[in-house]
Structure 1
Amino acid sequence: MSFGFRVGVPGMSVRVSNRGVRTSVGPRGARLTAGSGGARVSSSFGPFYASSSLGGTRRRAASPSPTQLERARKQAERAQQAAERDALIAQLTEMRRQMTSVHLDEFWPTRRPQLAPPPPVDAAWALRQAEEFHLAGVGRFARAERAAARQRAEVDACAFAASEQARQHALHGRLVAEGEQWWAALIANEEDIVCEAVNVAFADNPAAGCAVGVTGAVLSVVIRQPDIDSLPAQMPGFTAAGRPTLKNVPKRERTLWWLQTLGANVVAALREAFATAPAITAIDLAVISRIPATQQLGFVAYGHWTRAAIESTPWRTPDDALRFLDLGTDVACAVNMTGTGTIKALDVTPSLAALLAGATDEDAESADHPAQGAAGNALGQLDAQLSSREDPSAPTPDIFALRPFAEWFDPRSSPGQSSDTWLTPGQTVVVGGGGQLRVEFTFGGADADLSLFLLEANGLVSGDADFLFYGQPTSANGAVRLLGKSGANGTTMEHGIVDLDALPLHVERIAIGINMDVETGLTCAALRDARLRVTNYGAGWLFSPQPDPALRAMVVAELYRRDGWKLRAIGQGWADGLGAMAEALGVQVDSPGS
């Protein structure tokens, strides 16, 4: 069957265009049109021609022409350029404001350090810590064991809270003493303290600077002023019609801008140095920058300014920064405000010339040797170190943070590995300025007891409470504790804890003693492989006393204060046992008949 196509409507006309296909039926006077665009009826009778739609009112959406698209693209480009220009204008305006108003900041004067005392230790918190530690590993239905663990926790919680409170008060006292010592050195104008304090204050300044010395009450300061070539070539301006725009900066105006920035940095350094060092009465200040003509470092300003002149001057506007030229004595500035706005290096004194000779051009070296850019620049190194210090907005660690109960109860739970050193009789070693010492006495062959004596400067205890033995294992404030014995394979170890930070101030020495059981009649010669081990976090010391058959008690070693804490190996004792040793160290020993 062949393909066929039939138009069966008489008088039908077909019109085809890029808008679709339409058909018309009927005479011109009354014609029905159908197809793309809907059905319509048209009439040409009378003087008018009318056409009515028979379908919906939907109209074709017109697409934009290429001319319209190009016009819209150009408008978007102009809007983007205007937005970028406005953003750059705002950025340059803010940059100039900051550069020329740094001297208007508030510089708070340094005050005597004040440190609030530590808060009291919460007894309920200490009890929870102790119970959690002692109940670890105890079954829920082991009622007797849990009751015993809670009893031990109550006893240890009191000692733990007292020990932590004493440690915190000792730390507070030490920090207060250090603060007083620092303040006394600062107001005495000790050179290293004053320079360090001023350099820390300068660390966030836009112009790198440092204090380099103190002579009497006069501080010497050097500033590295940013080069004039670092200023932008354009600045905000206005067109003849009053619209904001960017314009090139003339050389004279550029030099004036740089001079105003120089004055702001100088005044800011002077005000901050005077605020930081309260006993400084005058400042000799010199400014280093790169000379445009030679591209070499040179002095562009220097002078002598007194505290009275700087602090009596009101600093309210950016233009006030230029008053540094009038407030000092022997002031020299390299800016030559001629028609060309030239900057020329100054002739300097021999001391300034020597300082400049010792300063390496960091930028010039980094261009030739990037790896060594700031290696030889002492000023640049110091500024980099101070600028890289911790963010002051970061949270400050709590210096009075409480230790976990487990660390207090057994310092071996704290981080660090011990490296032991063997001691000989009479040998003395430094064990540190603080921390928790762990004292261990390990032995075999016979039974012995460990005892600790908290001694004053005269070598005697202040009272019986300072004598720790199996019947009184904890000191009054919990700083020193005997933690009992443990044994395995015929070897026994008794250990104790000495919290150096929490010791009372009257304790100058701690005697570490051992004694044999008097009733057995044995002497120290019965001990096998006896040794004392003292550890303080990452360090440890070992001492093995001689098994003397004439002794039943001995002071194995002693701890004493002298520029920190030191440990001395001794190994000497008494034939009459614990009673004789305790009485010799100031303990009131009751006679058998009393």
Structure 2
Amino acid sequence: MSGASSPQLAAVERTPRLTAAHTSAAKSALAESILDAEDALTSVHRSWFAPATRPCAPSPERVDESTIRTRHAEAAVRGVPWFDLPNRRRAARVAQRRALTDIGVARRAAEERVQAEEQRIDQWWAALCANDPRVVTEHVNGVFASDRGTRAAALGTHGACVEVAVVVSGEHVLPAEEVRLAADGSLTIRRASVAHRAQLYRQHVAAVVIATARRALAASPGADSVKVHALRATCTGPFDDLNLLAVAELTRDDILHADFGMDAVSLLLRFGRGVRIGAAGIDTPVMVPLALDTVPGLAERLEEVCAGHHRASA
């Protein structure tokens, strides 16, 4: 039997190299996707939110002049024979005057509605800037409700401080694998260790705390600070249990001077006030919760908010 031809030998020799190249590309793509997922979880605190501005009333409603003119024109000639041209012309002139009067009335009414709305907005904006508890709580909750994926609620205000609770996603959002660099500089992908997952989740919780404070401050021009309670919901039977993961207060000045190039935990510990954050777990869960009574009265305030939501959805 004759030996294999040169093209066949070249193809056989090339196959391992091609397979290795494809494997390396797939591995790099997987590593990149894992790192992107980690970055998305730990960089939430870098989100910027536009500050609230005074809204404007909508422009006056357009008056349907054509319909008004047609209505008066038809009413004026009703009962006047078609051949009675002098009376029909007089009726048309009367209809035109009446239509102009109604159009003027409609325009003034539309302008008055705009003025009334502007006055209402002035009062509302003044209350928001004065940190009125009811106005601020309702507005911040409306802002949170409009943000898809945000599970946060304003609990109320204490002077110039807005108190907020936010539910953080569970550890199921963490990537199952982690990326490491081997001694030779090559990438290795392995099942994420408990320590790595705990560190990652702690960064995520801190990032959510900071982002929630920034969102609430942006929505509350009269507030000087926001106190955030980060919670985790665990399902036990028909109800969810709430565990307290972190508590921190951030002032507007803190946010202004913070270095957002820092990781979330370091930033929170450096710029936050009264910071308490759960320790990293050694098994499951990946983060040890704080006692709910760490914050006096928090359980009762959460119960009131939950009861209010149930009444609203009933």
Label 1:207 to 1:158 Cα distance change in 2 as closer, same or farther (>3 A): closer
Q: CA deviation at 1:301?
A: 0.7
Structure having the higher Rg: 1
Q: CA deviation at 1:223?
A: 1.2
Per-residue CA deviation, residues 326-365 of structure 1 (Å, 9 max, x unaligned), is: 2122211113377999521223143235456x38xxxxxx
| Residue number among 223, 226, 245 corresponding to 1:280 in the alignment | 223
Label 1:258 to 1:147 Cα distance change in 2 as closer, same or farther (>3 A): farther
- Segments of 4+ in structure 1 off by > 6 A? 81-91, 236-246, 337-341
Structure 1 match to 2:70: 132
SS at match of 2:276: strand
Q: CA deviation at 1:256?
A: 2.0
Q: CA deviation at 1:93?
A: 5.5
Structure-2 separation of matches of 1:174 and 1:277 = 24
Structure 2 match to 1:350: 296
Q: CA deviation at 1:94?
A: 5.1
Label 1:84 to 1:286 Cα distance change in 2 as closer, same or farther (>3 A): same
Please say if 1:333 is aligned against 2:301. no
Structure-1 separation of matches of 2:141 and 2:118 = 23
Counterparts of 1:22-421 in structure 2, within 5 Å, are: 95-115=37-57, 118=60, 126=65, 128-134=66-72, 142=82, 144=85, 147=89, 150-203=92-145, 204=147, 206-234=149-177, 247-290=190-233, 296-316=241-261, 319-320=263-264, 322-336=266-280, 342-347=286-291, 348-355=294-301, 358=303, 377-378=306-307
Structure 2 match to 1:478: none
Q: CA deviation at 1:282?
A: 2.2
Q: CA deviation at 1:213?
A: 1.6
Label 1:149 to 1:84 Cα distance change in 2 as closer, same or farther (>3 A): farther
Structure-2 separation of matches of 1:85 and 1:148 = 89
1:189, 1:280 within 8 Å by CA — same for their partners in 2? yes
Give the letter for the 2:161 counterpart. V
Structure-1 separation of matches of 2:57 and 2:91 = 39
More strand by share: 1
1:282, 1:304 within 8 Å by CA — same for their partners in 2? yes
Give the letter for the 2:267 counterpart. R
How many residues end up aligned between the 2 structures?
Answer: 281
Label 1:378 to 1:162 Cα distance change in 2 as closer, same or farther (>3 A): same
Structure-1 separation of matches of 2:310 and 2:169 = 16
1:130, 1:156 within 8 Å by CA — same for their partners in 2? no
Q: CA deviation at 1:136?
A: 5.5
Label 1:154 to 1:351 Cα distance change in 2 as closer, same or farther (>3 A): same
SS at match of 1:106: coil
Q: CA deviation at 1:111?
A: 2.4
Q: CA deviation at 1:151?
A: 2.7
Label 1:170 to 1:93 Cα distance change in 2 as closer, same or farther (>3 A): farther
Per-residue CA deviation, residues 66-117 of structure 1 (Å, 9 max, x unaligned), is: xxxxxxxxxxxxx9x9999999877665544433333323212222333365
Q: CA deviation at 1:157?
A: 2.6
SS at match of 1:262: helix
Per-residue CA deviation, residues 462-496 of structure 1 (Å, 9 max, x unaligned), is: xxxxxxxxxxxxxxxxxxxxxxxxxxxxxxxxxxx
Give the letter for the 1:233 counterpart. A
SS at match of 1:220: strand
Please give the root-mean-square deviation of Cα atoms over the aligned residues, in Å.
Answer: 4.3
Label 1:260 to 1:312 Cα distance change in 2 as closer, same or farther (>3 A): same
Label 1:380 to 1:276 Cα distance change in 2 as closer, same or farther (>3 A): same
Label 1:380 to 1:301 Cα distance change in 2 as closer, same or farther (>3 A): farther
SS at match of 1:350: coil
TM-score, structure 2 as length reference: 0.71
Q: CA deviation at 1:146?
A: 6.0
Structure-1 separation of matches of 2:27 and 2:308 = 38
Label 1:377 to 1:244 Cα distance change in 2 as closer, same or farther (>3 A): farther
Structure 1 match to 2:8: none
Label 1:242 to 1:273 Cα distance change in 2 as closer, same or farther (>3 A): same
Per-residue CA deviation, residues 11-50 of structure 1 (Å, 9 max, x unaligned), is: xxxxxxxxxxxxxxxxxxxxxxxxxxxxxxxxxxxxxxxx
Is 235-244 or 277-286 further displaced after alignment? Answer: 235-244
Structure-1 separation of matches of 2:308 and 2:172 = 21
Residue identity (%): 25
1:225, 1:289 within 8 Å by CA — same for their partners in 2? yes
Counterparts of 1:396-475 in structure 2, within 5 Å, are: none
TM-score, structure 1 as length reference: 0.40
Label 1:249 to 1:129 Cα distance change in 2 as closer, same or farther (>3 A): same
Label 1:132 to 1:85 Cα distance change in 2 as closer, same or farther (>3 A): farther
Structure-1 separation of matches of 2:101 and 2:26 = 68
Unmatched tracts of structure 1, length 5 or more: 1-78, 360-375, 386-594
Structure-1 separation of matches of 2:184 and 2:101 = 83
2:163, 2:227 within 8 Å by CA — same for their partners in 1? yes
Q: CA deviation at 1:130?
A: 3.4
2:178, 2:190 within 8 Å by CA — same for their partners in 1? yes
SS at match of 2:221: coil
More helix by share: 2
Label 1:166 to 1:230 Cα distance change in 2 as closer, same or farther (>3 A): same
2:179, 2:187 within 8 Å by CA — same for their partners in 1? yes
Q: CA deviation at 1:196?
A: 0.9
2:259, 2:267 within 8 Å by CA — same for their partners in 1? no
1:207, 1:265 within 8 Å by CA — same for their partners in 2? no
Structure-2 separation of matches of 1:291 and 1:335 = 18
1:100, 1:264 within 8 Å by CA — same for their partners in 2? yes
Structure-2 separation of matches of 1:269 and 1:342 = 22
Label 1:278 to 1:148 Cα distance change in 2 as closer, same or farther (>3 A): same
Unmatched tracts of structure 2, length 5 or more: 1-21
2:202, 2:265 within 8 Å by CA — same for their partners in 1? no
Give the letter for the 2:172 counterpart. D
Give the letter for the 1:184 counterpart. A
SS at match of 1:288: strand
SS at match of 1:343: coil
